[in-house]
Amino acid sequence: MAPARAPPNDRSQQAGLKVDADAALAELIERLPGARVLCVGDVMLDRFVYGRVERISPEAPIPIFRVEREQSMLGGAGNVVRNLVSLGVQAQFVSVVGGDQAGNDVMRLVGGSDRLEPHLLVDRQRPTTIKTRFVADGHQMLRADQESSAPLSETTARDLERLIVGAVGECDVVVLSDYAKGVLGEATTRAAIAAARKARKPVLVDPKGTNWARYRGASVLTPNRLELAQATGLRAEDLPEVEKAARRQIRALGLEAMLCTRGKDGMALVRPRGRSVAMAAMAREVFDVSGAGDTVIAAFAAALATGASMERAAMLANVAAGIVVGKVGTAVVHPDEVRRELVHEANVASEAKIMSLAQAQEQVQRWRRLGLKVGFTNGVFDLLHPGHVTLLRKARAACDRLVVGTNSDASVKRLKGKDRPLQDEASRATVLASLASVDGVVIFGEDTPLAAINQLRPDLLVKGADYTIDKVVGAREVQGWGGQVVLVDLEQGHSTTRLVGKASGRT
């Protein structure tokens, strides 16, 4: 008698399928640097003004906002491009800016990556869109918008279409990011879709408004369920309702599929026929959904550009969305974060603390937006001993979040000799990340942590009292931007060198 087969819902079988899917996504991540994506749409300048509110104005019943710092980043279609670049994709960007300072700021920001080729037209008759958010104690108090949604001039629209047609041949996938600010007018949208179709390139659209007729001929639309409901006049709450509304638009517009984001319910890839692929939301804690749709279409496009199936691409987009909504503000996703998400189950708490320098910089910015004081200390930490534990405990007590820098293996060999380190950098980072006093771990390859300190800009720099402030690397820089340097007393008689010598019989 043949052995009985496990039922379809057998947990071990499901686990095996998940492992296979995760392995496929991990392999897909490795192919992203070869992907080429063209993004066309409305670029914005997102400005964040951070400060504090401590009293009410005597002039009117309104809070007095004391400005502490400001930050600018690409928004709108620019946030799609930021996500493409952060995923390692080769991106081209076609858009329009005004002849103003904000337009200059956008040009500076898009010129900051060798993976991005910008094609920005300057229209001196219209302003660059600016969205300024005022944030106090981690909460957004006010948003002020400066924008125009007027159609482009005929001359600018013709020039834009020429740029699109010229760029389509050099990409694998075309993304149209429509924020209804005038760049993707009806004629331009139709011309972009026609050019992509002629070149046999998939066209993905993040739609706006209720008239989606101008997107006819696109491959996939990526609305959220509210946008889908408004465009169809149908409910789109549960999965059957989403499928019904999506298929109505798929038939009307000649689409291949629709990827609908459903908030806390995840997302669904709906085809004209057959079963939909429904994916549960992966976020463990939601801080901010701003720009999540940009991350979804960027990850979906990036995956398709590698030759992945729509199902695999949607799975990657779902993972990326789960990561980005756990961040504050319009944020991006990095490949290392996706890899970590795919293998997180066994040791997620400590693994999540080990970051690249770019990820640590993002994390520090998120903590600051929440009004938290960030500290930094560093060392080799080859054999963790009571002296290390005391340093880290006292450092963490002096701040709200502590980032620890540890030298790479190559750096340790230069500093301590060819027989060191005793533990490789991954092992040392894992041990540090397991400590409750440590909130983040970065590995730096230089002989000193100065580059890491300058990038993270901590509020507090902590070293042992065996140093003097003038000998602490980074002290002058931290004090220069208003931070503090703290020297803490250590447990006497503990050092890795001494322990190594004792073990070898030299001491």
Catalytic residues: 294
Amino acid of residue 152: L
Torsion angle (degrees, nearest 10) of CA 212, 215, 217, 221: -80
Q: Which of these, 203, 173, 199, lies nearest to 32 by C-alpha position?
A: 173
**DSSP states of 282-314:** --SS-S--TTHHHHHHHHHHHHHHTT--HHHHH
269/169 Cα distance (integer angstroms): 27
Q: Are 127 and 102 in contact (CB under 8 A)?
A: yes
Nearest to 222 by CA among 24, 26, 46, 39: 39
CA separation for the pair 66, 383 (Å, rounded): 46
Q: Cβ atoms within 10 A of the Cβ of 408, count? A: 18
In degrees and rounded to multiples of 5, residue 51 shows phi and psi of -170, -160
Q: What are phi and psi of 290, to 5 degrees?
A: -60, 125
* One-letter amino acid for residue 469 of the chain: I
Residue 53 CA to residue 289 CA, distance in Å, equals 24
The continuous run of DSSP H or E covering 375 comes out as strand 374-379
Angle subtended by helix axes 11-31 and 310-324, to nearest 10: 90
Place of tokens 């790479």: 408
Helix axes 310-324, 292-305, angle to 10 degrees: 150
**Dihedrals φ, ψ of 120, to 5°?**
-110, 125
Cα–Cα distance between 89 and 306 in angstroms, integer?
Answer: 10
Closest-CA residue to 381 (of 371, 389, 373, 372): 389
- Three-class DSSP category at 405: strand
Q: Are 418 and 427 in contact (CB under 8 A)?
A: no
For residue 55, the surrounding DSSP H or E stretch is strand 43-56
The sign of the dihedral angle between the CA atoms of 298, 302, 307, 308 is negative
Whether a cis peptide bond, with omega within 30° of 0, leads into 202 is no
Place of tokens 């690409």: 74
